[in-house]
Amino acid sequence: MNKTPHIEVDKEGVIAETILLPGDPLRAKFIAETYLENPVRFNAVRNAFGYTGTYKGKNVSVMGTGMGMPSIGIYSFELIHTYGVKNLIRVGSCGAFQEHLNLYDILIGMAASTNSNFASQYGLPGSFAPTASWTLLKKAVDVAEEKGYPVYVGNILSSDIFYDDNPDVWKKWANMGVLGVEMEAAALYMNAARAGVNALCILTVSDSLVTHELTTSEERQTAFTKMMEIALELA
């Protein structure tokens, strides 16, 4: 049996080289059941549901990663180093920092600023800038244009803190042009960079720190379909 402390797979080759990584395991289940042909669940450890099927004839997997950089750091490391995954695409939700962004807008993280200490493990003599893989980024933008889906490409913030003691600290990031905030991409980008594989983060705006608009948990689980469709085309 091929397994790690957090992923159990009962046979070789059941995880595809391209995987979509939503934070919510129920979003992984929704993607598998809605878009994949003949999906087979390969993981249920800690309810981090993972599935593999085909999309337009190509093998693709999808798996929930939970919330935060420690969680996606664990899952992406195991997927890369034990299961040979080459393309890791986070499909998540984010809070908008900019006034021109609306609910359901799609953001693509060209880079991921962070307040995390995740990069300290590498002992670098300076600050590392976590960036997306150009190959996946360009293809995602091309796919979005073909489908007629407007996207915003730029810097996002991967934060370790959801409830910040300073509720206005986000404005400092907004002043630097950061589009919005999520909690995972920087760790994913760093794990991928260190391993020499590809990673990308595609996000849907679920709330706005500017207008205080919100989506529901059900909408976050099942209604963010445009970003899912873009990501699936990258397989």
Positions annotated as catalytic residues are 207
- Please provide the size of the chain in residues: 235
| Calpha distance 49→63 (Å, rounded) | 6
| Calpha distance 234→104 (Å, rounded) | 21
Strand-pairing partners, residue 2, are 9
Specify the amino acid at residue 211.
T
Query: In this structure, are residues 79 and 19 in contact, taking their beta carbons and an 8 Å threshold?
Result: yes
The DSSP string of 120-189 is: GGG--SS----B--HHHHHHHHHHHHHHT--EEEEEEEE-S-SS-SSTTTHHHHHHTT--EEESSHHHHH
How far is Cα of residue 114 from the mean position of the Cα atoms in its chain?
Answer: 15
| Calpha distance 223→91 (Å, rounded) | 12
**CA 4, 8, 10, 12: dihedral to nearest 10 degrees?**
-50
| Calpha distance 147→159 (Å, rounded) | 31
Structure-block tokens of residue 104: 């359901």
| Calpha distance 50→10 (Å, rounded) | 12
